Amino acid sequence: MPHPEIEQNVQELIIPVEDLPEQESQNFEGKLGLSQCPRLLELAEDSEFELEYQFSLKRDSRKVLIDGEFKGQFKLNCDRCLGTVAYQPEESFSIRLQPSEDRPRPAEETLLTLEELEWDVYDQSSLNLAELIEEQVLISIPEKKLCSTSCKGLCQRCGVNLNTQSCLCNEEIEDHPFAVLKGIGSEFENFQK
Ligand SMILES: [Zn+2]
Ligand SMILES: [Zn+2]
């Protein structure tokens, strides 16, 4: 059974733009569960997932301005050894939205100022704020997720975790006939210098 309070939370985070009072800031705060973040679900582990947010939202005619921050902790997998990486983001964000039909046509785009280029678009009559927050969290995740900068990863041949175990694969590679050729190659490089 889903928690009733979380369900209610999701409802509150889908807002028809027209329902927002004009030029009047509204504050939101709450927590998101991993089940509300389908794209994060593919990256993060379910246990001990925490994500809190708070932001203010203001409508200016058809434009929407959102400023806030999020804070969380959850576990990701190391890109090299697949071990656990504890991730504790704490970031502020600001999102500028305008309806997609108000966006200038490509021909006009060369005339856009830098500030105008920062606008994102929304193409539905309702904003899904949970999705927007999830997007910010995804952006914050580093491209390379490592348990440690010195992580040795998994052996590409036998798959053991080289941080905790060693294997003989590398030695076997040295014995391989091609290893000799590799040796000649490096001597040749030295010779050239
Ligand atoms: Zn690792
Ligand atoms: Zn190995």
**What tens digit of pLDDT does each residue of 98-135 get?**
888 777 666 666 666 666 667 788 877 889 999 999 99
What is the distance in A from the centroid of ligand 2 to the CA of 44?
Answer: 28
Per-range mean pLDDT, top range of 46-60, 92-106, 159-173: 46-60
Mapping DSSP to helix (H, G, I), strand (E, B) and coil, where does residue 17 land?
helix
Contacts by 117-125, CB closer than 8 A, 24 or more apart:
119/63, 120/95, 120/96, 121/97, 122/17, 122/64, 122/97, 122/98, 123/99, 125/16, 125/17, 125/18
Q: Cα(170) to centroid of ligand 2, in Å?
A: 7
Distance from the CA of 153 to the center of ligand 2, in angstroms?
A: 11
d(CA 154, ligand 2 centre) in Å: 8
DSSP class of 19: G
Query: What is the pTM (predicted TM-score) of this model?
Result: 0.74
Locate the domains of the chain by residue range: 4-140, 152-193
CA distance 70 to 52: 6
Q: What is the pLDDT of residues 72-97, one digit of tens each?
A: 999 999 999 999 999 999 999 999 99
Among the residue ranges 126-140, 158-172, 175-189, the one predicted with the least confidence is: 175-189
